[in-house]
Amino acid sequence: MIRAIIESVMGGIFRAILQFYETHALPLNVIVLVYGLIMLMSWLNLVRMYRYLVVAMAKRIHQHPNLSPKSSVKKVAETIPIPWDEAVKASNFPLIGSQVMLVPLLSSAAGLQRILNRDELIGHALDVLNGADPRKVMPTYNMMWKNKQAKKHAKN
């Protein structure tokens, strides 16, 4: 009875869409499920690569004679290059994606640089050197959004 009331209120287009969905529910749901799993795996891959980069940068900072855990982000950025390619090689999934992306990117150094913020990464590496748990470090949505906006304004 409730279905009949809803169908009468929504009209013919809604009934056509509902009938199409009921006819093809299994393939549509499988597509949505596979897409969701791909996006989840892309996000987890990005987090894994980010943590790899943070630990690698912390190790490089520790081994560098002119840097310490109290060094500034700017000084570290000028002194040590970020090993983007090493993180890509260490990855075991071909896609990366942030929480705000609708379509994942192929794992590449350029893709990582597009998504991640260099200063946040170096800041987290310094935090790890100061005792933070590297397993709890992850890229933040705000920094990704600011990075994306900055790159968009740089093009204009």
Which is more confident, 14 or 32? 32
CB 87 within 8 A of CB 81: no
Q: pLDDT-derived band of residue 26, with 50, 70 and 90 as boundaries?
A: very high
* 92-122 pLDDT, tens digit each: 999 999 888 899 999 999 999 988 889 999 9
Instruction: Calculate the alpha carbon distances from 138 to 88, 112, 117, 141, 143 in Å.
Output: 16, 13, 11, 10, 11
Element containing residue 25 per DSSP (H, E): helix 25-63
* 66-91 pLDDT, tens digit each: 888 888 889 999 999 999 999 999 99
Q: Provide the pLDDT for residue 48.
A: 94
Q: Provide the pLDDT for residue 99.
A: 85
* 120-152 pLDDT, tens digit each: 999 999 999 998 898 889 888 766 666 667 667
Q: Provide the pLDDT for residue 8.
A: 79
Instruction: Report if pTM > 0.75.
Output: yes
Q: Provide the pLDDT for residue 55.
A: 95
Measured distance CA(56)–CA(137) in Å, rounded: 13
Domain ranges of the chain: 45-155
